[in-house]
Structure 1
Amino acid sequence: MSPRSSAATGSSVSSPGAGAGSRPGPAEAEAELVAAFRARHGLPGLVDVHTHFMPERVLRKVWAYFDAAGPLVGGEWPITYREEEDRRVARMREFGVVAFTSMLYPHKAGMAEWLNEWAAGFARRTEGCLRTATFFPEPGVEGYVRSAIEGGTRIFKAHVQVGAYDPADPLLDPVWGLLAEAGVPVVTHCGSGPAPGKHTGPGPMARVLERHPRLPLVVAHMGMPEYTEFLDLAERYREVRLDTTMAFTDFVERQAPFPARELGRLVELGDRVLLGSDFPNIPYPYVHQLEAVERLGLGSEWVRAVCHDNGAELFLR
């Protein structure tokens, strides 16, 4: 993302270099860079909990919105991997991603069920894709979420910013309860970047967690720019995790730097930070997300946990 809001004060963890300036060349060249990263840290593969695969006509509309720098984008945002679906899936294989998701989300009522049907079919025909589903505060939401869980959904996506809804909406209360009871994680864009929404920020999700303290919430984008406040929630609730999606990259650090004073908390919460990338909708090579995690300097054990072990514990064991 390209946050417009400023982060809490504190020096940036970013440093020059780390391959951020390069664009992906031949597929083999970038695959070699990712393979070298995996070798440096003894990684058997990558588990990426935040990748986007959608029905083609939906994805084209998403790309058009990014191209137009719509109000929720916050600025210029070139799509690096504007490729056909089979090519994007092939890149996951080439990068050694052993598990990934088809994050999709509705912006209005009446969309979620057919998006879930598409995602179920995509997961069936795509090795390595975790069956993904979504929801919206609307009549019937409890029923189709229950059906998705019973059908084998492994992970949900909720987008508070795009959906423009209050996660504490009474219509969603039984949904959060179902997810907590089933132990199915929900990746939620609830931070205020790249542009704040009426219901973004830590407050609305804090109200949800007060009612559902066992909810396996994955805070997308590390909660940027409210990094500190979402780390507070992770410390308070054992089932709260955060994904790295676009965090620590040069693209984000220019406007919403992760505060260096919080690096120690990342170590303490090292078993609850998950690799996320936003592939294919990113304005830089995939390898840069990996190198951005690496250049935090928290050690190979931490990198292995974030890029593989934590996700594998949730989804592969």
Structure 2
Amino acid sequence: MLLEHTAAAEQDRVAEFRRRNGLSHLIDVHTHFMPDRLLAAVWAYFDAGGPLLGRAWPIRYRVEEQRRLEVLRGFGVRAFTSMLYPHKPGMARSLNDWAAGFAGRNPDCLHSATFFAESSAPADVRHALDQGARVFKCHLQVGGFNPNDPLLDDAWGQLAEAGIPVVTHCGSGPVAGRHTGPGPIAELLARHPALRLVVAHLGMPEYTEFLDLADRYAGVLLDTTMAFTSFVEATSPFPRAELPRLKSLGDRVLLGTDFPNIPYPYADALEAIEQAGLGAGWLRAVCHDNAAKLFAI
């Protein structure tokens, strides 16, 4: 957990990372802000190691909402998201209403929204779009639904037509779900090839297969959430043979971190992708410029 006397040192590390790489600011497309009750449940899951995780996952930034905002902004993050997601039917509309209010109170938050595989999905997505949502979150592992469920076809169609990015946890890490992996996403993209689908965590651990999909579909992007950190490399290392391909896709990779729900300092995430050795130009694109273009910031 973050201790107040460490906050300044962490900000200094992030500021030094930005200085080294010519970054005045960062844009983080994978951060979590959600209603307190839901966030407490998420933290309790990680506290227990999660029935599926099987490893300690101490929440680094377990502080109240306003302090979390101060910490994130103190890192030089000029825009971020409030990624939230339902784990059962009937939650998405209320979560989206909360997110709309949060974005209204915090103009530097990219208005975020979500959906679930249920009959109300098309209306829920339309409602969120009408409210001004700029990015959606789809969590196939937590939601446990098939992205190709017919109940979702109209929702995906709306998102594709609107060109709205959908940050999607679709890889099988840290633990495989019933509908995770590249297969369901390949099927989805075959039906909706215009989707702007952001593969979270670089598709961990199926990195190669999701890079293949990015090569095939121009609308597929990837985010760096937890990638290259020692926490992830211990179990799901990124294949070094794929680094040249990741570099070549540098205009479609976005910074993500999972803040505040990470078990290490924010600076670790930045230094980890820096140590991948893809260059300062690549880092500037990933940590700011690509998202600035995508969201017209």
How much has 1:316 moved relative to structure 2?
3.2
Match in the other structure for 2:286: 306
Kindly report which structure 2 residues correspond to 1:155-170, keeping only aligned pairs within 5 A, or say none. Answer: 155-170=135-150
How much has 1:156 moved relative to structure 2?
0.2
Q: Give the one of 223, 228, 237 matched to 2:208.
A: 228
Q: Give the one of 257, 264, 288 matched to 1:277.
A: 257
Match in the other structure for 2:130: 150
1:75 aligns with 2:55: yes
Query: Aligned partner of 1:89: which letter?
Result: L
Would you say the 8 A contact 1:23–1:285 is kept in 2?
no
Match in the other structure for 1:133: 113
Query: Aligned partner of 1:131: which letter?
Result: H
1:109 and 1:235 map into 2 onto residues whose CA distance is: 34
How much has 1:176 moved relative to structure 2?
0.9
2:193 and 2:54 map into 1 onto residues whose CA distance is: 33
TM superposition score normalised by structure 2: 0.97
1:244 and 1:71 map into 2 onto residues whose CA distance is: 25
Query: Aligned partner of 1:195: which letter?
Result: V
Would you say the 8 A contact 1:71–1:195 is kept in 2?
no
Higher alpha-carbon deviation: 27-36 or 249-258:
27-36
Q: Which has the higher helix share?
A: 2
Query: Aligned partner of 1:186: which letter?
Result: V
Would you say the 8 A contact 1:248–1:292 is kept in 2?
yes
Match in the other structure for 1:204: 184
2:45 and 2:4 map into 1 onto residues whose CA distance is: 23
Match in the other structure for 1:14: none
Match in the other structure for 1:54: 34
Unpaired runs of 5+ in structure 1? 1-21
Give the secondary structure class of the aligned counterpart of 1:54.
coil
Q: Give the one of 237, 240, 245 matched to 1:265.
A: 245
1:26 and 1:161 map into 2 onto residues whose CA distance is: 33
Alpha-carbon RMSD: 1.3
Match in the other structure for 2:77: 97
Match in the other structure for 1:63: 43
Query: Aligned partner of 1:162: which letter?
Result: V
1:38 and 1:74 map into 2 onto residues whose CA distance is: 34
Kindly report which structure 2 residues correspond to 1:23-62, keeping only aligned pairs within 5 A, or say none. Answer: 25-62=5-42
1:186 aligns with 2:166: yes
How much has 1:147 moved relative to structure 2?
1.6
Query: Aligned partner of 2:171: which letter?
Result: G
How much has 1:127 moved relative to structure 2?
3.0
How much has 1:315 moved relative to structure 2?
1.3
2:284 and 2:233 map into 1 onto residues whose CA distance is: 23
1:297 and 1:312 map into 2 onto residues whose CA distance is: 23
Greater relative contact order (CA < 8 Å, ≥ 6 in sequence) = 1
How much has 1:38 moved relative to structure 2?
0.7
2:208 and 2:54 map into 1 onto residues whose CA distance is: 22
Match in the other structure for 2:94: 114
Query: Aligned partner of 2:187: which letter?
Result: R
Give the secondary structure class of the aligned counterpart of 1:157.
strand
1:255 aligns with 2:238: no
2:189 and 2:259 map into 1 onto residues whose CA distance is: 28
Unpaired runs of 5+ in structure 2? none
Query: Aligned partner of 1:228: which letter?
Result: T
Q: Give the one of 176, 193, 200 matched to 1:213.
A: 193
